[in-house]
Amino acid sequence: MAVPRSPAAAAGDADALLLGRGAPAEDRTAADHMPVPPDRTFQVCPVDRPRHYRDDFGEPRWAGGFHRHQGIDIFADRGTPIRAPFDGRAESSASWAGGIQVYVYGRQGFAFNGHLERAGTMGNVKAGDVIGWVGNSGDAQGGSTHDHFEWHPRGGAAVDSFRLLNQACHGHAGSGEKAPLERPPAVLRDPV
């Protein structure tokens, strides 16, 4: 179960680390690449079930100074696989705020995953490859385990990926998780 966060744990956020980071999308010449409809940016849900998330993009956060949440927190048990949402190139890094983090650079932009337990397959990856496992590293330490997921179209600023996540995780662009949860959602006093 979730351990309540202590105020001391709320000392920063991976979000701020991404400001100004504009990485070029990888150009793949994949002849074997399956055609992807425009609204299927994510071919695979980034986190395996059971998971839960809501549209918390843009919500006010105070960790590391006031800012708007630049991602969507996908909550799941520690060790739940995190998958590449599209073909691309995966790179891992570490920071005090994001902990163990993995970028996936694809043709349409890059995804950022924070607070991992550990990284998985790096380098060239296909959609669905396990690129890491859910944890609470970085400034999420002591809080609920989750994947802080950001989507940066064309390598630019993060945008709200809620609808894209719904399409990948549920096959529709509705209003969030509809599958019954196996346990009550963890409540964070100060999610990061």
CA 59 to chain centre: 16
CA 175 to chain centre: 18
d(CA 134, CA 189): 19
Rounded to a whole number of angstroms, the minimum distance from the CB of residue 148 to Zn ion is 3
d(CA 114, CA 97): 9
Instruction: Pick the closer one to Zn ion by CB: 86 or 149.
Output: 149
Rounded to a whole number of angstroms, the minimum distance from the CB of residue 190 to Zn ion is 10
Instruction: Pick the closer one to Zn ion by CB: 76 or 192.
Output: 192
Please, which of residues 77-116 interact with Zn ion by CB under 5 A?
A: none
Rounded to a whole number of angstroms, the minimum distance from the CB of residue 165 to Zn ion is 13
Angle at 169 between CA 163 and CA 174, to 5 degrees: 40
Angle at 77 between CA 142 and CA 53, to 5 degrees: 90
Rounded to a whole number of angstroms, the minimum distance from the CB of residue 41 to Zn ion is 20
Rounded to a whole number of angstroms, the distance between the first and last alpha carbons of the chain is 18
Please, which of residues 16-75 interact with Zn ion by CB under 5 A?
A: 71, 73
Task: Give bridge partners of residue 128 from the DSSP assignment.
Answer: none
Instruction: Pick the closer one to Zn ion by CB: 26 or 190.
Output: 190
Please, which of residues 128-157 interact with Zn ion by CB under 5 A?
A: 148
Rounded to a whole number of angstroms, the minimum distance from the CB of residue 27 to Zn ion is 29
- Interacting span for Zn ion (CB under 5 A) from 28-36, 154-162, 168-176, 184-192: 184-192
Of the candidates 126, 145, 141, the one whose C-alpha atom is nearest the C-alpha of residue 80 is: 145
Residue nearest to Zn ion (CB): 148
d(CA 137, CA 142): 9
Instruction: Pick the closer one to Zn ion by CB: 87 or 148.
Output: 148
How many residues belong to the site for Zn ion (CB under 5 A)?
4
Rounded to a whole number of angstroms, the minimum distance from the CB of residue 126 to Zn ion is 26
Instruction: Pick the closer one to Zn ion by CB: 87 or 139.
Output: 139
d(CA 36, CA 58): 28
Q: Summarize as ranges the residues that interact with Zn ion (CB under 5 A).
A: 71, 73, 148, 192
